[in-house]
Structure 1
Amino acid sequence: MKHFPKIQSHKEIEVDGYWTGTGGNGLNVATYAHSLGVKVAFFSKVPLSIHSIITDTLIDVGLETSHLITEARSDAPQVILITNANGEYSVLVSDRNGLAFTPTEVSPHHLLPRAQYAHIDAFTLGALGTIGQIKAADKWVKTVQDSGALLSIDLSHALCDNQTQRASNLIGSAHVVFGNTYEATKITQTSDSVEAATALLRMGPSDVIVKDGERGLVCASEKSMAIVPAFDLPVADSIGAGDGVVAGTLFGLCRDLSLEDASRIGTAVAAMVCGGRGSQGASFDLQAVEQLLETGSTDRSSIS
């Protein structure tokens, strides 16, 4: 913090335990989709101090088609996530400039040919608001469009709070838009997730998925509007659940499923993710996800 808030006293909070792990929106989406059997290419900028950790994570899940740009000048950000008994969490994070692409680090060869979908996560879209990151994000978007892949984006609080016009332009250029209820209602100036999904659809994308927490998803397309309920399973924490929605839904769309059916896979993957500590704490595959979709329950013995 640059300035501590003025308070009359301090409060100590006792914790039951702690863990360390690896994560990040793009990393999560890539590894979850890979676990489902999708052919994935992952592109990221990684500070040197955690390069081996990220590499080991990718090796552990067997994701070999990765392209990492190493950042040697900036330290890795320190991220602390505090969860409660219900699995809800808050985030404390330090400077993330070392994770941001610059325009010179983005080139057309980065995108694999014949990709059906290309997903750009919320941070990469320009969450920091710096000129360099925004230019790099715009270059990523153009690279995807020139490749012929369908652009998928995930909104962020920072983008919707601080770059409303740019967020609107990005939404209009995307084929698939994901966002949580706060982001969706903020950018559309609506009062609930259903209204927000309808308003987002009018802004230009073909498919819209609003992540409405424990209530599930609101998905809207030119053909239909549906509410897809979340699975009622025990939650260790919800870190990475939104990325699970993205990975599962895009997996379903790659299989030419309807948006509603694809979104059901998204909710199932999110439920699996919530069974482990941290965004990489759950181990699952397509068989486990299909079992959950068919029966409403699954064997979670493989989840750590």
Structure 2
Amino acid sequence: MFLPKQKLIQTKTDIDVLAVGGIDIDWLLKMQKLPSFDEKLIADYLGQFPGGPVGNFACIASQLGLNVASMCTIGDDQGGNLILKDFQNYNVDVSYVIVDPNITTPFVIVIVDPTGEKAVIIPKFHQNRAFLIQPEAIKRSKFVYMMASDYAHLKEVAVIAHNSGTKLMVDIEPSEILLDGKIYELLPYCDIASFNEQGFECTLGKPFSMDALVELLDYGPEVVLVTRGNKGVVAADHNEIVQVPAYDVPVNDTTGAGDTFNAAFLFGTFCGYNLKKRVEYGTAAAGILIQSVGTRTNLPTVEIIENFIKEQNN
């Protein structure tokens, strides 16, 4: 049974986007190739960077001009302090960030090869899954943005958002899929479903196709997106299907490209842009980001994105 979309109710919605969970510290290494078992290789250490898919999204969306707040739990440790300070540097509201001395702030190991492509190792931090859900924050927000991770947790947030008239954008990647085949139960709550290609195929259990993408609209979302790396982006709403190729730019680090795309796409949604322009905006933002090393070292502004699009179209 599908849920009818509700109009935004008249409450105090002073937060444009509430970014839920999805934070970590990225330990960035550069190597010629990944080692095999029983093999030792030297890596260049590129540094520690505040990261996490939703954390990246929050900083980028705020940089573009949206009023963004984070709802997450961090440890009372060096990693947690880095995340908190970086949010504050990017004017992300941290009123709903909880510091818990009993947990470790998550970290991931990102290995970048000479072409800029990456491999990511994600240690399990089970104690960090259950961040405290704060209904007040959800009700104050026009949009909630989160990963498709623990289904019960996601469903609880989605129901509060739906009942409050708050819209929901969900990012679905293979590393975060703990949905246990429940994607079709989630979609009725979801206004924008954003997959990367691997997430699409893992979640649906079949290869990417236009038909499979369009079929998902029947379950409730207003928009379905699939980012396909250097193959570009495919998007569909109830009026049209849009394909936008990736920009041909020098690639140094693709970490955070999808997060950047999603932030710029949602910014375009707030601006009232049509589907094609939103996808172009997101693709341009990602194309700018991947030319530098580190997810937040080259965050695009609106002016930079618009100039980039003009230059690429000339």
Q: Which band: TM-score by shorter chain?
A: 0.7 to 0.9
For 1:37, the equivalent position in structure 2 comes to: 65
**Given the superposition, is the C-alpha separation of residues 155 and 117 from structure 1 closer, same or farther in structure 2, using an over 3 Å criterion?**
same
CA contact 2:147–2:176 (8 Å) conserved in 1? no
Instruction: Please give the secondary structure, in 1, of the residue aligned with 2:182.
Output: helix
For 2:216, the equivalent position in structure 1 comes to: 200
Is residue 219 from structure 1 mapped to residue 246 from structure 2 by the alignment? no
For 1:177, the equivalent position in structure 2 comes to: 193
CA distance in 2, matches of 1:174, 1:79: 28
**Given the superposition, is the C-alpha separation of residues 51 and 258 from structure 1 closer, same or farther in structure 2, using an over 3 Å criterion?**
same
Aligned residue pairs total 278
**Given the superposition, is the C-alpha separation of residues 159 and 11 from structure 1 closer, same or farther in structure 2, using an over 3 Å criterion?**
closer
The Cα offsets for residues 119-160 of structure 1, whole Å up to 9 and x where unpaired, read as 1223xx41xxxxxxx433222111211221211111131554
Larger displacement relative to structure 2 (181-190 or 137-146):
181-190
Q: What is the RMSD of the two structures over their aligned residues, measured on CA atoms?
A: 2.3
CA contact 2:60–2:299 (8 Å) conserved in 1? no
Q: Which has the higher strand share?
A: 2
Instruction: Please give the secondary structure, in 2, of the residue aligned with 1:118.
Output: strand
CA distance in 2, matches of 1:92, 1:65: 27
CA contact 2:167–2:190 (8 Å) conserved in 1? yes
For 2:83, the equivalent position in structure 1 comes to: 54
Percent identity, please.
22
Amino acid across the alignment from 1:262: R
Is residue 188 from structure 1 mapped to residue 214 from structure 2 by the alignment? no
**Given the superposition, is the C-alpha separation of residues 193 and 164 from structure 1 closer, same or farther in structure 2, using an over 3 Å criterion?**
farther
Is residue 111 from structure 1 mapped to residue 128 from structure 2 by the alignment? no
CA contact 2:260–2:289 (8 Å) conserved in 1? yes
Is residue 79 from structure 1 mapped to residue 105 from structure 2 by the alignment? no
For 1:257, the equivalent position in structure 2 comes to: 273
Give the alignment partner of residue 241 of structure 1, picking from 220, 241, 257.
257
For 1:14, the equivalent position in structure 2 comes to: 42
**Given the superposition, is the C-alpha separation of residues 135 and 190 from structure 1 closer, same or farther in structure 2, using an over 3 Å criterion?**
closer
Query: What is the CA distance between 1:281 and its match in structure 2?
Result: 2.0
Greater relative contact order, per chain length (Cα 8 Å cut-off, separation 6+): 2
Instruction: Please give the secondary structure, in 1, of the residue aligned with 2:260.
Output: helix
Instruction: Please give the secondary structure, in 2, of the residue aligned with 1:20.
Output: strand
CA distance in 2, matches of 1:23, 1:193: 31
Give the alignment partner of residue 120 of structure 1, picking from 130, 136, 146.
146
CA contact 1:245–1:270 (8 Å) conserved in 2? yes
Query: What is the CA distance between 1:196 and its match in structure 2?
Result: 3.4
Instruction: Please give the secondary structure, in 2, of the residue aligned with 1:19.
Output: strand
Query: What is the CA distance between 1:215 and its match in structure 2?
Result: 1.1
Amino acid across the alignment from 2:137: H
CA distance in 2, matches of 1:95, 1:73: 16
**Given the superposition, is the C-alpha separation of residues 171 and 10 from structure 1 closer, same or farther in structure 2, using an over 3 Å criterion?**
same
- Listed as ranges, the matches of 1:285-300 within 5 Å are 285-296=301-312
Segments of 5+ residues of structure 2 without an aligned counterpart are 1-34
Instruction: Please give the secondary structure, in 1, of the residue aligned with 2:46.
Output: coil
Instruction: Please give the secondary structure, in 2, of the residue aligned with 1:260.
Output: helix
Segments of 5+ residues of structure 1 without an aligned counterpart are 1-6, 127-133, 298-304
Query: What is the CA distance between 1:248 and its match in structure 2?
Result: 0.7
CA contact 1:185–1:193 (8 Å) conserved in 2? no
Query: What is the CA distance between 1:194 and its match in structure 2?
Result: 2.5
For 1:300, the equivalent position in structure 2 comes to: none
CA distance in 1, matches of 2:223, 2:182: 19
Amino acid across the alignment from 1:143: I
CA distance in 2, matches of 1:81, 1:279: 11
Give the alignment partner of residue 23 of structure 1, picking from 51, 54, 67.
51
CA distance in 2, matches of 1:293, 1:38: 21
CA distance in 1, matches of 2:127, 2:99: 9
Larger displacement relative to structure 2 (202-211 or 8-17):
8-17
